[in-house]
Chain A
Amino acid sequence: MRGEDLLRRIGRELTQAWVILVQDARTYYLSTPMIMWGLLMPFFLFLPSLMQEEMTLQKAMPSLLAMITFLSASSTGPVILPLERRAGTYDRLLAAPVSLVTVLLGKSLVGVVFCLAVSVISVAVGLIFFDVHIARPGLLVAGVFMSSLAFSALGILFVSGSAQSPGRVMMPTMLLRWPLLFISGVFIPRDRMAPWLRALSYLSPLTYAQDVLTHAVLGSVRQVTEIIKPCGRVIEDYLLVMAGVHNPLLDLAILLCLVVLFFLPALRLHHRSQRLGY
């Protein structure tokens, strides 16, 4: 393909991803499963955290935003794609001159925009009614964007099978998502976790989202040495390698890597599903 043709093709595919995004936003944002899994669930899970003694919305805001990005974004694909498969509209997309990458990118961006919208509303309510202060607004936008993109890609990975009902995807994926919520510092701050659990938290994508959003809202920098002291030698070595995770830019870089890490296998599995005729 010539350079000019390639550029035209890329432009065309990006336009098509935008068309899919707008269409899905109009069709699914107000659908019952989307409101249930993407909106009510994070807020209801957040309420108990807010009820803790000495907890303020300022302190809890990073956790709320992390839960919104995690639960909402990772629910978008599992809600939309099974509904589209059942209605046959997914076939309509696949039969159009649109690449599978563009289709899945469009579907991922639906989750990103949903999370951005819900986060903006949450932050606006915090700023206006609860005197919440955002330390680094630019980092907050970048953090919400990258987190929701990573978790949207995770949602697309979840739904790479043949399920034709959102419930059949959401239920099994909750088995994975619940433990991630508990080990990522969303409910319990990581510095209060047992060393082995703290070490485990580094395997959770949500840890990096929580961390960057904490930086963005509270502006604090945590001391890694305090965390790794009680750990064994092997884990300590591992954590030293990962020590920079408390730099918000590294959090963003890890989230970007996670986007690729989730999206590429998702693409491969969706292609396999298509080949097998799911």
Chain B
Amino acid sequence: MNDDCAIRASNLTKVYGDLVAVDHIDIEVHTGEIFGFLGPNGSGKTTTVRMLTTLLEPTEGTALINGYDVCRQRYQVKQQFGLVPEESNVYTALSTWDNLMYTARLYCMPRGERERRACELLALFALEDKRDVKVQFLSKGMRRRLTVAMALIHRPPVLFLDEPLIGLDVHCAQLIKAQIRQLNAEGTTIFVTTHQIEVANQLCDQVAIMDLGRIAAVDRPERLKRAFQSVQSVEVALDGQETDQHEGLKALPGVTEVLKQGDKVRLYTADPSAVIEEVVGYARSQGLHVLSLNTLGPSLEDAFLAITGQPMAAAQARFHREACRECPMRDTCDRG
């Protein structure tokens, strides 16, 4: 064990009836690190975050935040972190400023300090002109920025972000990513859950992949990506009279699998550059125009498949089936 761990969980478990939501996981996040927690919906990411932030008691195991136990030293633990949940939990009836002030008061910050900090955060998250606007009139992206700002009001040494970029436009996502990097550069330890591998790739020093409550892999993003280089792909859109492009493309050397996606075709390969040349040659020989041609890195779906040996959709479906079996409303529910 290292002493510079900001977050350390051992044997952390959460059981709901027969459903094991989080299954004896171990996590070590070093101080000043950005740690990514990747996995499909229902894999146990949010449950883990809720346990680490004292919102949920673990069934088994322990977790320490900056050395404080989440079960026995809840008060001290709560002073160590800021939390950005999956849904922006802001008071819609209050203004942006009042939301920040309320959070600061909950942390008993002195008046002068809380006002200075709030002004700083409004500037940081480009919300200065929305200071006196009620949150119900803000866009989803602005609310998200405000949620992050509220989590940072007391300058926490550890920040938990649960799917921070979900549903945001590119501009807003870039702004939040930039702030995450900036915070980290200033020394904040960041624990971020996401199902977007690219987010983890761009932000994280270390990544854990969750599968049905267990950690399937933990490593640096580049090392994880190296583990599934074979699932790189080339996406091509061809225009022409060819009726069965699918078979022709599948027969190209180096192509392991072909998947039709709308008006495009995705060709899986271990060697994208060779396949690009083959595709261009094929199009020329068939008299087809290449409308677009892109190389794609492995998606989380691909990573998940490579590491766990099963498609993510199947894992999610299995989770939902098990969750439904536990649900008290299963007899009246119309979700099937």
B55 contacts A16, CB within 8 Å? Answer: no
Quick check: is B179 within 8 A (CB to CB) of the other chain? no
**Cα distance A99–B73 in the bound complex, in angstroms:** 12
CB B243 to nearest CB in A, in angstroms, measures 52
**A275 and chain B: residue at smallest CB distance:** B57
| Pair B50/A98 contact, Cβ less than 8 Å | no
Flag whether B85 is at the interface (Cβ < 8 A). Answer: yes
**Cα distance A16–B107 when bound, in Å?**
8
Q: Is there an interface contact between A97 and B79, defined as CB atoms closer than 8 Å?
A: yes
A89 proximity list for chain B (CB < 8 A): 89-91
Inter-chain contact B75/A95, CB cutoff 8 Å:
no
B47, B55, B102, B150: the one contacting A91 at CB < 8 Å is: B55
Chain A interface size, as a band, is: 20 to 34
Task: Judge if B108 is at the interface, Cβ distance under 8 Å.
Answer: yes
Interface residue SS majority, chain A: helix
Contact present for B91 and A27 (CB under 8 Å):
yes
User: In this complex, what residue of B is CB-closest to A15?
Assistant: B108
Would B93 and A26 count as touching, CB distance under 8 A? yes
Closest to B98 in A: A26
Find residues 77-106 in chain B having any chain A CB closer than 8 Å to their own CB: 78-79, 81, 83, 85, 87-94, 98, 102-103, 105-106
Q: How far is the CA of A13 from the CA of B103 in the complex (A)?
A: 14
| B78 adjacent to A277 (CB under 8 Å) | no
Cβ of A57 < 8 Å from any Cβ of B? no
Size of chain B's interface in residues, with CB distance under 8 A? Answer: 31
Q: A15, A89, A276 — which one has the most chain B CB atoms within 10 A of its CB?
A: A89
A274 and B57 within 8 A (CB): yes
Q: Which of A27, A87, A95, A99 neighbours the largest number of chain B CB atoms within 10 Å of its CB?
A: A95
Does A219 touch B at the CB level, under 8 Å?
A: no
A88 to B90, CA, bound (A): 8
Q: Are A19 and B105 in contact (CB under 8 A)?
A: yes
- CB contact between A12 and one of B54, B92, B94, B108 (< 8 Å): that residue: B108
The answer to the question of A23 belonging to the interface, with a C-beta cut-off of 8 Å to chain B, is yes
Is the C-beta of A93 less than 8 angstroms from some C-beta in chain B?
yes
Contact B103 A97 (CB under 8 A): no
* Shortest CB distance A34–B (Å): 12
Contacts of B232 in A (CB 8 A): none
Q: Are B87 and A88 closer than 8 Å at their CB atoms?
A: yes
Q: Given A96-B107, A99-B75, do A23 and B91 touch, yes or no (CB 8 Å)?
A: yes
Chain B min CB distance to A130 (Å): 35
Give the B-binding residues of A (Cβ under 8 A).
12, 15-16, 19-20, 23, 26-27, 87-89, 91-99, 274-277
Pick the 10 closest A-B CB pairs, nearest first.
Answer: A88-B89, A97-B78, A275-B57, A19-B105, A96-B106, A277-B56, A95-B83, A27-B93, A97-B79, A88-B87
Q: Which residues of B contact A (CB under 8 A)?
A: 14, 16, 47, 50, 53-57, 75, 78-79, 81, 83, 85, 87-94, 98, 102-103, 105-108, 150
13 CB-based A-B contacts, threshold 8 Å: A12-B108, A19-B106, A26-B94, A88-B88, A89-B91, A92-B89, A94-B55, A95-B53, A95-B78, A97-B79, A97-B106, A99-B75, A277-B16
